[in-house]
A and B are shown apart, each in its own frame.
Chain A
Amino acid sequence: MEKKLFIDDLEEITEHDEEALNMLKRRAMVAMGVILLFLMIIISRFWYLQINLGEHYRGMAENNRVRIRTVPPPRGHIFDKYGREIVTNRPSFNVALIREDSFDIQDVLKRLSVVLDEDIEVLWERIRKGSGAPRHFPITLKEDVDWQTLAYLENNKYKFSGIRIEVQPVRVYHYGDLGANIIGYISSINPQELEADKDGVYEGGDLIGKRGLERIREKDLRGEKGSSSTEVNASGFEQQQLKQVDPLPGRDLTLTIDVELQRAAEQYLAISDKAGAVVAMEVDSGRVLAAVSAPTIHLEDFIGGISRKNWNALLENPRNPLLNKAVQGVYPPGSTYKIVTALAGLSEGVITEHTTFYCPGHYYFGRRLYRCWKHSGHGTVDIRRAITESCDVFFYQVGQRLGVDRLAAYAKKLGLGARSGIELEHEKAGIVPTKDWKRKRFKEKWHEGETLSVAIGQGFNNMTPLQICLMTAAIANGGKIYQPQIVEMVKTTDGDIVEQFRPKLLSELSSQEKRYLPILKDGLFGVVHGKRGTARNVRIKGLTVAGKTGTAQVVRLAQYKGLKEQDIPYKYRDHAWFTCYAPADNPKIAVTVLVEHGLHGGSGAGPIARVILKKYFEKYLLEQARKEAEEGKDDKA
C-alpha cells in the first residue's frame, strides 16, 4: 500500500481529533491577537489624523469648500470747502468670465465679441493675460459696459455660460480736471507697490492712488475690503452663500479748496494759454483756497490706465503738465523778494523808514554797473516809494549794507528756502543763497556783487509760488507763518469726523520785526493804489489790495537786448510774478500768481490775481451782509 497523502481513515481522524483541534484553537487565539494589533494600528491612525492633525485637516476642508471673493470698498469722496462734490464714484459694469463655469469658452466669446462690439482677439488676449489665476477667478473682458448691452446680457444669460457682470466703483470727476495736480488719480497697483504692501491690504488688480491726494490720503480714501464667502462643490459650482462681510467705504475728504476760486484761475490760465501757478490762502489760518498749476493733466485719461501715447505726450510737453508748479516749480522771486530785503533792512537798522537813496536809473558797485528796471531813474526814494515803484537801486544799496547772510536769515524767517510741509507731493524747498551755501554748492567764494542781485530777487534765489504766498500772508497777518494746509476735514461715511482742520503756527516774527510791517504794508498798498504803483490794473472797486509785482529773469542775453518783448522767443521771456493780499487794512486772503514767461508782473500775472480776488470778495461781501443781518436780529431780540 502506497503511503497515503492524507489521513482519511475515520478511525485515525478521531485519534488525532483532539490534538488537531487544540492546535487550531491556539492558532485562532493568535489570530485574535493579530486582529487586536490591527485594531490598535487603525485606532492610533485615527487618533493621529483626527486629534493630532484635526485642525490642519479642518483648515484644508474649509479651503476645499469655501471660495472667498473680495468686495472692493467704494473709495472716499472728495469735497471742496463748501461741500461741493469734486470727486465721487459711480458704478462701472464690467463683463467678466469665470472659466470654470463656462461650458464652451470659444462659443461664448464669439457671441460676446458681437454683443460688446469688440474684436474676438482682444477678448482672447484678456483671457490669456488672466490665465495665470485660478480657474474660478473672474477675468474682466470689458469695462464699463452700457445699459443696453447689460440688459441684453442679463436677458440672454443662458447663452453666455460663465459670464458675470461685476460692479466696480470708478471715479467721477464733477469738475473735469479741476485741481488735477492736487487731487491726482488712481490706477491699478503695480508690482513694486504690491511688494511694498507689508500689511497685505492689496492684491493684484486693485486700484491705488498714484498721485496727489489720492496717493497721500490713500489710507483714508481706500476703505476696507469686504468679502463674500461661497460654498463650492468639488466641481467648483457654487452651492450657497456662507458669509458676506460688507466693505467699509473709504473716508471722505473735504478740502480747503474753494472750487470757484480754483476754477476761475484755471480757466483764466487755460483760456489765455499760459503756463504757471496760482496759490490763494487764508492769511490767518493757512487754508489753501486754490492751488493751480497750468497746464493741467487730464484725469479722464488715467481711468483704467493711461495709454502710452498720452503718457508720452505728457512727458514731452515743454510746459510740463506733470509738474505741480505751485509747490514743485521753483523760480527766482524777482521783485517780490524786495519785501524780504525791506524787512531785513529795517529790522537790522541799516535803513530807517526815512532813509532815502537817489536813483539815477543805475548803480555802480565797484566798477560794475547795476541797472534799475526804470532806466530813467526814480529820483530820491524812501522805503515806501521804493516798494511801490519797485526801485532796484534803493534795494541794491540796502542789500549791500546787509550782506547776503543777514538777508538770507530774513528770507528764512518769512518761510522761504524751506519746505512748508503742505500735503502735496515732492514739494521743493527752493534756494535762499548764503555764503556758506555757495561755498558748498560751487566751492566758490561769495562775490559782494551777487548780494545786489539777490537783494532784488534775482541771482541764485529760487522759490516756489507757495512760499511767496506764505510770505505774503505773513506780512498780511502781522508776522505769523502758518502751515499751509489743504485738507479741511476727514469724515467717515457715517459722518464721524476723524480729522479736523486746525491752524498750525510754524513760526512768528519777533515783536521788534513786527513793528516794521506797517511800513512795508504802506509800500505794498501803493503798488496797487499808488499813482506810480506797478499793479494799478489789479484795482477792484470797493476793495483795497496790497501787493507786489515781480519779474524773474530767465536769461540775460545780449542778443535780445533792445528787442521788443513780444519778439523774444517764448522760452527766454521773463517769468511774471504778482503776490498780494486783501483787504489791505484787514487782510483775509493772500494770492500769489506766477506766469511762466509772462513778462511783467503787473500785466502778466496781475489780472489772474484780480479774478480770484473778485470771486473771493463777492462771496465775502455776501457773507458780511448775512452776518450783519443776523446781528441786527439779535440786537432787536
Chain B
Amino acid sequence: MIRFDRRMLAHFDWWLLIMFLLICAMSLFNLYSASYPPKPWGTPPYLKQLYFYLIGFSAILVILAVDYQELHFWNYFFYIFVVGLLAAILIIGKTAGGAQRWISLGFFNLQPSELAKLMLVITLASYYSRKEVTDGYTIRQLVVPIGLTLVPFVLILLQPDLGTALMLGFIFVSMTVFVKLRFSVYAILGSTGVAMVLLAWEKLLKPYQKQRIQTFLNPEGDPMGSGYQIMQSKIAVGSGGRFGKGYLEGTQGHLHFLPERHTDFAFAVWSEEWGFFGSLFFISIYFLMLIWGLYSSAFARDRFGMLLSFGIVMLIFWQAVINLLMILGFLPVVGIPLPLVSYGGSSLLTTLLAFGILLNVRMRRFQVGQNGD
C-alpha cells in the first residue's frame, strides 16, 4: 500500500507548500490579535489553533504516504461515518432540546458539517472519475451524485446550518459543471435551483435567516441589529486605510465592536491592522495558492486526481469568496469561515486534510498504472 518513489519527492510542490505555510503563519499571527487581550482563563484561541495545526500537519504527513487512489476505497467508510455523525447530532440535538452543530470530544467540539464538505468532494470526485461520459452527463446519470449530495445537505439544513448546506451545493455545482453536462441538464438544474430558492424563502428559512438577508439588503436601516455586524465589519476594514492601524492596534476588534472577531470576521481584524496593502498581500498569496492548486489539478495524472484537486480548490475558494464578500459587506452574514484564517478546529482540520490530498495528487502526477491495484 505504501510505496515510496523518489520521483515523488522531486515532484513535490514546494512552492505550493511555501505559500500554504506562509498563509498558515500569517493566520496564526492574526489570530493572536483577533483574540487579544487574552482572557485570564482557558487556553487562548491562537494556542488551540496552533495545536490543531500540529495535529493537521501530522495528518498531512500520513496522507502523503498513501496514494490518493486509496480514497476510492476509504471514502465509503468516510461517507458513512460523516453521515452517521450528522444524523447522530440531529438526534442528540432533539433529545437535548435544542439545535446543536457539534459533538463534544472532550478536548474539542467536532463539527461534522465541516468534514462533510471534504467528504462530498472526495465522493463526487470518486464517482465522476469512475462513471465517465464523453459528451456530458444526462439527468439520469446525475441521479446518484445528486442523491449522495442531498443526504448530507438535508441533514445539515436541518441542524439548521444554511451556510454550510449551501457550501455543499456550491461544491456539487462546481464539480458537476466541471465534468460537463448535457445542455438540457443546465436548463433543468437551473430552473430547479430557482424553484428551490423560492420555495426555501417561503417555507424553509427561519425568521432569523430571513432577517439576515433582509438586513443585508438594507444594512443601515437597523444599525444595532443584524446590520450592525456588517456595518462594524465595513468600519473595521475601511478604517484600516492604506497601511492599517498596526499590529494589535486595531480598535474595532479589540473593543469588541467587531462581532465574531476571531472566527468569521478574523480577516476584518487583519484588514484593520494592516490596511489595504496588507490585505492585498494576504489575499494575493491566498488566491495565488488556489490558482496554483488548479494548475496541479490540470496536470494531475488521472481523472480522479484532477477532480479531487479541483474539488478541493473549489472547496477552499468558495468559502474564501463568501467569507470575504461578507466581510466587505457584499453578502449577508452566513457563518462561513475563511479557511485557515478563522478560528475553528473542525474547519482547520478539514482544510489541512484537503490540502494534504492536494499535495498528494500533485506529487504523484507521474505515477501511472495504479488503477487496477
Pairwise interchain contact B330-A231, C-beta atoms closer than 8 A: no
Pairwise interchain contact B284-A39, C-beta atoms closer than 8 A: yes
Interface hub of A6, A17, A27, A61 (most chain B Cβ within 10 A): A61
Interface hub of A32, A51, A65 (most chain B Cβ within 10 A): A32
Pairwise interchain contact B235-A8, C-beta atoms closer than 8 A: no
Number of interface residues of B (CB under 8 A): 58
- For A28, the chain B residues whose CB sits under 8 A away are 178, 294-295, 297-298, 306, 310
Q: A13-B132, A233-B256 are in contact. Are A42 and B321 (CB under 8 A)?
A: yes
Number of A-B residue pairs having CB atoms within 8 Å of each other in the complex: 154
Pairwise interchain contact A32-B294, C-beta atoms closer than 8 A: yes
- For B290, the chain A residues whose CB sits under 8 A away are 35
Cα-based distance from A332 to B255 in the complex (angstroms):
73
Whether a CB of chain B sits under 8 angstroms from the CB of A306 is: no
Pairwise interchain contact A61-B283, C-beta atoms closer than 8 A: no
Cα-based distance from A6 to B142 in the complex (angstroms):
11
- For A39, the chain B residues whose CB sits under 8 A away are 283-284, 287
- For A42, the chain B residues whose CB sits under 8 A away are 283, 321, 324-325, 328
Whether a CB of chain A sits under 8 angstroms from the CB of B195 is: no
Q: In angstroms, how far is the closest chain A Cβ from the Cβ of B127?
A: 10
Interface string of A1-42 (1 = CB under 8 A from B): 000011110100100110111011101110110011011001
A:34-60 near B, CB below 8 Å:
35-36, 38-39, 42-43, 45-47, 49-51, 53-58, 60
B:100-115 near A, CB below 8 Å:
none
- For B235, the chain A residues whose CB sits under 8 A away are 57, 60-61, 64
Q: A50-B242, A57-B237 are in contact. Are A31 and B294 (CB under 8 A)?
A: yes
Q: A20-B303, A23-B180, A45-B328 are in contact. Are A64 and B257 (CB under 8 A)?
A: yes
A:340-362 near B, CB below 8 Å:
none
**In the complex, which of the residues B240, B291, B306, B324 contacts A32, with contact meaning CB atoms closer than 8 Å?**
B291
- For B255, the chain A residues whose CB sits under 8 A away are 64-65, 231-234, 239
Cα-based distance from A93 to B324 in the complex (angstroms):
52
Whether a CB of chain A sits under 8 angstroms from the CB of B133 is: yes
Pairwise interchain contact B252-A46, C-beta atoms closer than 8 A: no
Cα-based distance from A38 to B276 in the complex (angstroms):
17
Q: In angstroms, how far is the closest chain A Cβ from the Cβ of B211?
A: 20
Closest to B279 in A: A46
Pairwise interchain contact B328-A58, C-beta atoms closer than 8 A: no
Pairwise interchain contact A50-B294, C-beta atoms closer than 8 A: no
- For B371, the chain A residues whose CB sits under 8 A away are 10
**In the complex, which of the residues A6, A27, A49, A231 contacts B238, with contact meaning CB atoms closer than 8 Å?**
A49
Whether a CB of chain B sits under 8 angstroms from the CB of A235 is: yes
Q: In angstroms, how far is the closest chain B Cβ from the Cβ of A54?
A: 4
Whether a CB of chain A sits under 8 angstroms from the CB of B213 is: no
B:266-291 near A, CB below 8 Å:
271-272, 275-276, 279-280, 283-284, 287, 290-291
Closest to B287 in A: A39
Closest to B299 in A: A25
Q: A7-B133, A24-B179 are in contact. Are A50 and B237 (CB under 8 A)?
A: yes
**In the complex, which of the residues B140, B232, B257, B302 contacts A5, with contact meaning CB atoms closer than 8 Å?**
B140
Whether a CB of chain A sits under 8 angstroms from the CB of B367 is: no
Cα-based distance from A16 to B317 in the complex (angstroms):
30
Closest to A60 in B: B235
Cα-based distance from A51 to B279 in the complex (angstroms):
12
- For B240, the chain A residues whose CB sits under 8 A away are 50, 54
B:219-239 near A, CB below 8 Å:
232, 234-239
Q: In angstroms, how far is the closest chain B Cβ from the Cβ of A14?
A: 10
Pairwise interchain contact A57-B283, C-beta atoms closer than 8 A: no
Q: A50-B241, A54-B239, A57-B234 are in contact. Are A20 and B178 (CB under 8 A)?
A: no
Whether a CB of chain A sits under 8 angstroms from the CB of B131 is: yes
Interface hub of B238, B251, B271, B299 (most chain A Cβ within 10 A): B238
- For A38, the chain B residues whose CB sits under 8 A away are 287, 317, 321
Q: In angstroms, how far is the closest chain B Cβ from the Cβ of A88?
A: 42
Interface hub of B134, B284, B317 (most chain A Cβ within 10 A): B134
Cα-based distance from A49 to B236 in the complex (angstroms):
10
- Determine the main DSSP class of A at the interface with B: helix
Pairwise interchain contact B271-A46, C-beta atoms closer than 8 A: yes
Pairwise interchain contact B321-A54, C-beta atoms closer than 8 A: no
Contact residue range for chain A?
35 or more
Q: In angstroms, how far is the closest chain B Cβ from the Cβ of A135?
A: 12
- For A13, the chain B residues whose CB sits under 8 A away are 132
Whether a CB of chain A sits under 8 angstroms from the CB of B141 is: yes
Cα-based distance from A27 to B371 in the complex (angstroms):
24
- For A10, the chain B residues whose CB sits under 8 A away are 371-372
Pairwise interchain contact A64-B306, C-beta atoms closer than 8 A: no
Pairwise interchain contact A7-B295, C-beta atoms closer than 8 A: no
Closest to A231 in B: B255
Q: A42-B328, A46-B279, A57-B235 are in contact. Are A8 and B133 (CB under 8 A)?
A: no
Q: A6-B133, A58-B238, A239-B255 are in contact. Are A24 and B291 (CB under 8 A)?
A: no
- For B174, the chain A residues whose CB sits under 8 A away are 31
- For B237, the chain A residues whose CB sits under 8 A away are 46, 49-50, 57
- For B280, the chain A residues whose CB sits under 8 A away are 43, 46
Pairwise interchain contact A61-B298, C-beta atoms closer than 8 A: no
**In the complex, which of the residues A24, A29, A47, A60 contacts B239, with contact meaning CB atoms closer than 8 Å?**
A60
Closest to B144 in A: A5
- For A5, the chain B residues whose CB sits under 8 A away are 131, 140-141
Pairwise interchain contact B328-A46, C-beta atoms closer than 8 A: yes
- For B236, the chain A residues whose CB sits under 8 A away are 61
Whether a CB of chain A sits under 8 angstroms from the CB of B11 is: no
Whether a CB of chain A sits under 8 angstroms from the CB of B94 is: no
Cα-based distance from A612 to B174 in the complex (angstroms):
103
Whether a CB of chain A sits under 8 angstroms from the CB of B130 is: yes
- For A19, the chain B residues whose CB sits under 8 A away are 134
Interface hub of A17, A43, A49, A56 (most chain B Cβ within 10 A): A49
Cα-based distance from A46 to B299 in the complex (angstroms):
33
Cα-based distance from A513 to B204 in the complex (angstroms):
105
- For A235, the chain B residues whose CB sits under 8 A away are 256
Pairwise interchain contact A35-B134, C-beta atoms closer than 8 A: no
- For B180, the chain A residues whose CB sits under 8 A away are 23, 27
- For A27, the chain B residues whose CB sits under 8 A away are 178, 180
Interface hub of A16, A39, A56, A58 (most chain B Cβ within 10 A): A39
Cα-based distance from A234 to B260 in the complex (angstroms):
13
Interface string of A192-205 (1 = CB under 8 A from B): 00000000000000
Closest to B179 in A: A24
Pairwise interchain contact B271-A35, C-beta atoms closer than 8 A: no
- For B133, the chain A residues whose CB sits under 8 A away are 6-7
Pairwise interchain contact A58-B241, C-beta atoms closer than 8 A: yes
Cα-based distance from A13 to B369 in the complex (angstroms):
13
Cα-based distance from A290 to B237 in the complex (angstroms):
67
Cα-based distance from A24 to B125 in the complex (angstroms):
13
Q: In angstroms, how far is the closest chain A Cβ from the Cβ of B96?
A: 30
Cα-based distance from A39 to B251 in the complex (angstroms):
27
Q: A45-B330, A56-B238, A64-B255 are in contact. Are A16 and B132 (CB under 8 A)?
A: yes
Interface hub of A5, A47, A50, A60 (most chain B Cβ within 10 A): A50
B:290-347 near A, CB below 8 Å:
290-291, 294-295, 297-299, 302-303, 306-307, 310, 313-314, 317, 321, 324-325, 328-330
Pairwise interchain contact B291-A36, C-beta atoms closer than 8 A: yes
Interface string of B67-101 (1 = CB under 8 A from A): 00000000000000000000000000000000000
3 closest A-B pairs (Cβ-Cβ)? Answer: A57-B238, A54-B241, A61-B239
Please list 19 pairs of residues, one from A and one from B, whose beta carbons are closer than 8 Å in the complex, sorted by A's number: A5-B140, A6-B132, A7-B134, A21-B302, A24-B178, A24-B179, A31-B178, A38-B321, A45-B325, A45-B330, A46-B271, A46-B279, A50-B279, A54-B239, A54-B242, A57-B237, A58-B239, A64-B255, A234-B255
Q: Which residues of B contact A (CB under 8 A)?
A: 130-134, 140-141, 174, 178-180, 232, 234-242, 251-252, 255-257, 271-272, 275-276, 279-280, 283-284, 287, 290-291, 294-295, 297-299, 302-303, 306-307, 310, 313-314, 317, 321, 324-325, 328-330, 371-372
Kindly list 4 other residue pairs between chains A and B, CB separation below 8 angstroms, not including A38-B321, A50-B241, A61-B252. Answer: A28-B298, A36-B291, A46-B279, A61-B239
